[in-house]
A and B are shown apart, each in its own frame.
Chain A
Amino acid sequence: MTNRWSYNRAGLRPVTEKILRRFTLLFAALVCPLLPLPAQAGDAPPWMHALVNAPLPAHDEKTNAVLLYAEENVNVISADKIKTTVRRAYKVLRPEGHDDYGIVFVPFRSPGEKVNSMRAWCIPAQGKDYEVKDKEAIEASLPKVEGSELVSDLRIKLLQIPAPDPGNIVGYEYEVEEQPIVLQEGWSFQQDIPVRESHYSLQLPSGWEYKAAFLNYADVKPVQAGNNLWQWTVSDVKGLREEREMPPMQGLLGQMIVSLFPPGGPGAKGFSNWHDMGSWYLNLESGRADASPDIKQKVASLTASAPATLDKMKAIASFVQDDIRYVAIELGIGGWQPHPAADIFGHRYGDCKDKATLTSSMLRQIGVNSYQVAINTERGSILPQTPAYLGFNHEILAIQLPKDVSSPSLIATLDDPKLGKILFFDPTDELTPFGQIRGALQANYGLLITPDGGELVELPSQAPSMNSIQRTAKLTLDTRGNLQGQVEEVRLGDRAAVERFRLRTVSNDKDRIKPIENLLAGSLSNFQITQASIQNLAYPDRPFGFTYSFVAINYAKTAGNLLLVRPRVLGAKGDGVLETKEPRQFPHRI
């Protein structure tokens, strides 16, 4: 369900960069063997050679590489043109670093942006330097993955660096020209590997101002290095290595967000706080939720037989979830600006912000107001102390509940001081009953966008019992140790949604019982399912159920006339996630 909320060229968020890197590595593994071998000639530049004997930042034996030097120079030419030059040099320490640091890739939007130059080098531990130039680079669109954009103007330019082997230094430099949609840049100086030194400079035209805010790192004061030129430097930055079940990297990695202000203010292109970001977004969505005659007619037909306002709301919600296919077409500002409701309705497809816009348009026809909420589905990415920036990747709706609408089924509500009771609703999530929100959105922070501007709000949590598995079994053991069982499982919340999602395209019975087979296989070595059925697969507003019978031969072990039996027959909750040699660094997400 990605939209372009989290994309910003120069300040590509570290988590997005990591995902991009994985796709790029996969892409490169498929394409690069088909390319001619890069030329091997030319000396690496002096700035790289200066690093040959540089002391390495502190690291341990599991560190694949260290970033010796990073430099990012942002030159703001106008509100429509920014040039950025980047230099980076890594020392590869382990064979596992070969793939990650042997390819340089630069994302850019096309048309509108371009990579003006790109070169890379390897200084091997022994022997002559290698060089690869622009002409050896390839440009490509990103591969399609489920939940991502079908059509996007995001491209990558990538260059393979020779010999990224342990002991060698690999580095690159490039220049990219950007046509900013939002006047905000980012400096992602912290990574999953240690960083020896990182520099960032900002050159502004006369009369421009900036506001810098640090995330997850102590403020660093810049040095004014010239007329409208500022420089920041950090050194010996610790790498944040991934741990299982850790909070999202976006909420942990040190970064600097720079908001840019031309004379007279950013206008339609920027913001300096959440309130202003809300206004910026309102400007983008202005007029987009206007209802066409076809939309009005559809609302009338959907709600004609609905007795009460809540029933009308549910009918509209169901239509947008089930009848509008999720397809993201995001070009330019389309990464943030929804399509017009009339187009979404006419084409019967849209991404998350499109579906929210259409829902809002339709609800308005029955006198119900609603407001967009930008959110990041990785809870912990946006926190109350996070400065305003494009760190969201999803959009849902906050429906202002009319006074006559009240029901115990409406759980995901919040009392807003200005709007009254609001109900959060995700038009892209057809697996969660109306009135609830899935786990990833609960206790998460979203930007509520109203005519007064934006406000960061915490979405409500639901009771644990609403996200549960209840398993009841009647089991019979015979004297030979054979076990027969009848099991009933009732699943609610995300536990139900995940099974419905898994089974959504399955049509034959043999495949439908695979989840049950997998569950039993996790606990029994020798079993046969004798009967199985699923309840309420197609009804998200009802509990999901598995009912099954099985036989497990030799479940209990015989010892003379005794039987040794494991009372815990099914399901495993013990988790070895914390059984590591290294002490835990980050909170453990449950």
Chain B
Amino acid sequence: MLNYTRTFEVKQLSVPVSQAADLKKFYRIIASDERNTAVLKPQN
């Protein structure tokens, strides 16, 4: 059985320009996770 859980919570209404790079990195991490695959092997 595969359990997949994620939570996305917005804690501030606006991200300043100085943190734009961090936000971009964060969105990339999310996008990467969303594309990830798992390999399932039958139990023999």
Residue numbers of A with Cβ under 8 A of B are 247, 379-380, 443, 461, 464, 477, 479, 556, 561-569, 572-579, 583-590
Could you tell me if A589 and B14 are in contact, using CB atoms closer than 8 angstroms?
A: yes
Could you tell me if A573 and B39 are in contact, using CB atoms closer than 8 angstroms?
A: no
Could you tell me if B30 and A578 are in contact, using CB atoms closer than 8 angstroms?
A: no
Residue of A477, A556, A564, A574 ringed by the most chain B CB atoms within 10 A: A574
Question: What's the minimum C-beta distance from B42 to chain A, rounded to whole angstroms?
Answer: 6
Could you tell me if A572 and B34 are in contact, using CB atoms closer than 8 angstroms?
A: yes
Question: What's the minimum C-beta distance from A263 to chain B, rounded to whole angstroms?
Answer: 45
Could you tell me if B37 and A575 are in contact, using CB atoms closer than 8 angstroms?
A: no
Number of residues of chain B lying within 8 A (CB) of chain A:
31
Q: Given A568-B36, A573-B30, is A589 in contact with B13 using a C-beta cutoff of 8 Å?
A: yes
Provide the residues of chain A in CB contact with B24, threshold 8 Å: 578-579
Could you tell me if B14 and A578 are in contact, using CB atoms closer than 8 angstroms?
A: no
Query: Residue A587 contacts which of B4, B17, B32 (CB distance < 8 angstroms)?
Result: B17
A-B complex: 5 closest residue pairs judged by Cβ atoms:
A574-B31, A584-B20, A578-B24, A567-B4, A563-B40
Could you tell me if A587 and B15 are in contact, using CB atoms closer than 8 angstroms?
A: yes
A464 to B9, CA, bound (A): 7
Q: Given A477-B40, A568-B36, A590-B15, is A573 in contact with B8 using a C-beta cutoff of 8 Å?
A: yes
Residue of A nearest to B40 (CB): A563
Provide the residues of chain B in CB contact with A556, threshold 8 Å: 40
Provide the residues of chain A in CB contact with B34, threshold 8 Å: 566, 568, 572-574
Residue of B8, B13, B35 ringed by the most chain A CB atoms within 10 A: B13
Provide the residues of chain B in CB contact with A590, threshold 8 Å: 10, 12-15
Question: What's the minimum C-beta distance from A472 to chain B, rounded to whole angstroms?
Answer: 10
Query: Residue A567 contacts which of B2, B16, B42 (CB distance < 8 angstroms)?
Result: B2
Residue of B nearest to A566 (CB): B37
Could you tell me if B11 and A587 are in contact, using CB atoms closer than 8 angstroms?
A: no
A567 to B42, CA, bound (A): 17
Residue of B14, B15, B20 ringed by the most chain A CB atoms within 10 A: B14
Could you tell me if A578 and B27 are in contact, using CB atoms closer than 8 angstroms?
A: yes
Residue of A nearest to B25 (CB): A578
A575 to B4, CA, bound (A): 20
Could you tell me if B42 and A479 are in contact, using CB atoms closer than 8 angstroms?
A: yes
Question: What's the minimum C-beta distance from B10 to chain A, rounded to whole angstroms?
Answer: 5
Beyond the given A380-B14, A587-B16, could you list 18 further A-B residue pairs with CB under 8 A, ordered by the A residue number?
A461-B13, A562-B39, A565-B37, A565-B39, A566-B38, A567-B2, A567-B4, A567-B36, A568-B35, A574-B30, A574-B32, A574-B34, A578-B20, A579-B24, A588-B20, A590-B10, A590-B12, A590-B13
Residue of B nearest to A472 (CB): B5
Provide the residues of chain A in CB contact with B12, threshold 8 Å: 590
A182 to B22, CA, bound (A): 46
Question: What's the minimum C-beta distance from B2 to chain A, rounded to whole angstroms?
Answer: 6
Residue of B nearest to A468 (CB): B9
Provide the residues of chain B in CB contact with A574, threshold 8 Å: 27-28, 30-32, 34
Residue of A nearest to B28 (CB): A574
Could you tell me if A379 and B36 are in contact, using CB atoms closer than 8 angstroms?
A: no
Provide the residues of chain B in CB contact with A579, threshold 8 Å: 24
Could you tell me if B38 and A567 are in contact, using CB atoms closer than 8 angstroms?
A: yes
Could you tell me if B16 and A562 are in contact, using CB atoms closer than 8 angstroms?
A: no
A443 to B16, CA, bound (A): 16
A577 to B10, CA, bound (A): 16
A568 to B32, CA, bound (A): 11
Question: What's the minimum C-beta distance from A119 to chain B, rounded to whole angstroms?
Answer: 43
A586 to B23, CA, bound (A): 13
Question: What's the minimum C-beta distance from B13 to chain A, rounded to whole angstroms?
Answer: 6
A543 to B28, CA, bound (A): 32
Q: List 12 A-B contacts (CB under 8 A).
A: A380-B14, A464-B11, A562-B40, A563-B39, A565-B39, A568-B36, A574-B31, A578-B27, A587-B15, A590-B10, A590-B12, A590-B15
A146 to B42, CA, bound (A): 56
Could you tell me if A584 and B10 are in contact, using CB atoms closer than 8 angstroms?
A: no
Question: What's the minimum C-beta distance from A251 to chain B, rounded to whole angstroms?
Answer: 11
Question: What's the minimum C-beta distance from A492 to chain B, rounded to whole angstroms?
Answer: 13
Residue of A nearest to B2 (CB): A567
Query: Residue B39 contacts which of A247, A379, A564 (CB distance < 8 angstroms)?
Result: A564
